[in-house]
Amino acid sequence: MSTPLATPSAQQRLDRLPISRFHKITLVAVSFAYFFEFADINTFAVTAPRLIKLWGVTVNQVAYVTSTSFVGMFLGSIVAGALADRVGRKKALASTTIFFGLFSLVSVFSWDVVSLGVLRFLTSAGLAAMTVVAVIYLSELFPAATRGKYQAYAIAIGICGTPATSFIASALVPAADWTWRLVYLWGALGLVFVFFLRHLAESPRWLENRGEAERADEVLRGIEARVEAECGPLPAPAAATSPIPTVADDGEPRWRLLLRRKALLPTLLLCVLWVTQTIGFFGYSSWAPTLLAKQGFSVGNSIFYVALSTVGAPLGCLLAAAVTDRLERKWCLAVFGALIGVFGLLYGLTFDPVLIVVFGFLVNMIERGYTALAYAYSPELFDTRTRSLGTGISYGVGRLSNAAGPLVIAALYTGSGYQSVFVFIAGTWVVGALVVAAFGPRTRKRPLDRTPASGSPSPASA
């Protein structure tokens, strides 16, 4: 049985803090990791058209390398969930960021499509692992009333890595036979994240859940002192109203907790959300440069058109930041998903360069808004005991689904042509939107340890 604490919980103490320099430094650090995650995640997509010419890589080989990358993402997500529970959110964030940066650096020296595929598998494992930990880390450190907005801000800053990589690649890749390698060197700059570590705090919620109340209190007092020095006297936290569960309560393995109804249902829902998001987004972003080149556009132009369209991505995150803490997140996700399906279909139905850029811009803008909303929504469906593993499994299953996605897209392109690919992608977005609208619980401003499945009303719906 849990023993109630005489003092307010970590959640109550963190939720009453005003946004301060502490929060902003945390936001910048996570945004930096996101920037190079987004910078790195499409490096193979933007270099593949060049490798087709240099190494004689086929469309099917592009599909297999892309597929194995998503297998790596699945494994990385599962490992991240366990790692974040075992060593803490801060250490897990640092180790996963360093991991993907190192293997992106080694990718510079790949000598054929097989070696590059292996290195992309390992890099992708680190990318997905970092994302899972970063989502959880932000959700546990920011106040409930604003955590959605700041998740979106982190993505808005981080997503700038996508157009940055696309523009850099559009200049580097065609320049010489070897300059495509510099795109992977660019992705490796995520290693600079290590300089942020001394400014970051461990999650007090994680410490408290492990039964390390004294250490959690020490971290909280350090955070509160930093905030109070900047903002003045702090408001009193709400009184403790319920026991705080800890790992030591019954010793039940974490994975078995996910089989309980209150964790199983959100895990299944999020699996659908992330499967449709992964196939829908990566089907578009990973294949657009190659498919445009196959339709007769030059390698330089195809990468440049995609680069122009990705400029919309940060705007989508800012749009999400504007609505995420004002409107219910599940309805925002449903509307955004439906719009992506429509604009993505229109993208595939035109060969006019201007319309390709316009519809590509709209797809990128709304999709990244959708992703920012999903990053805020996912950890809100779990309590602290199941958050890391539940988020990791659902995110990982989504990434694993795209091990088959590229093969389906290659088959569709070969068998039915360019436009059939975009009909398929649009359909996945619509399915995801309908499922979230029908089955997604409300979570806006809900305290993190009061899960939707528990039946407790949120402030938004009370």
Q: What pLDDT, on a 0 to 100 scale, did the predictor assign at position 335?
A: 92
Better pLDDT: 6 or 52: 52
Q: Write the pLDDT tens digit of every residue in 260-297.
A: 666 788 888 888 998 888 888 776 665 665 656 565 55
- Sequence spans of domains, the chain: 10-233+255-454
* Strand, helix or coil for residue 39: helix
pLDDT of residue 400: 81
The pLDDT value given to residue 99: 92
**Over the stretch 207-251, which tens digit does the pLDDT of each residue have?**
888 888 888 889 888 888 888 888 887 777 665 555 554 444 445
Instruction: Give me the pLDDT at residue 6, please.
Output: 52
State the pLDDT at residue 69.
82
Mean pLDDT of 169-186: 81
Q: What is the mean pLDDT of the chain?
A: 78
Highest mean pLDDT of the ranges 56-70, 370-384, 386-400, 429-443: 429-443
Q: Report how far apart, in Å, the C-alpha atoms of 215 and of each of 9, 91, 384, 406 are.
A: 13, 16, 17, 46
Instruction: For domain 10-233+255-454, give the fold.
Output: Growth Hormone; Chain: A; (1.20.1250)
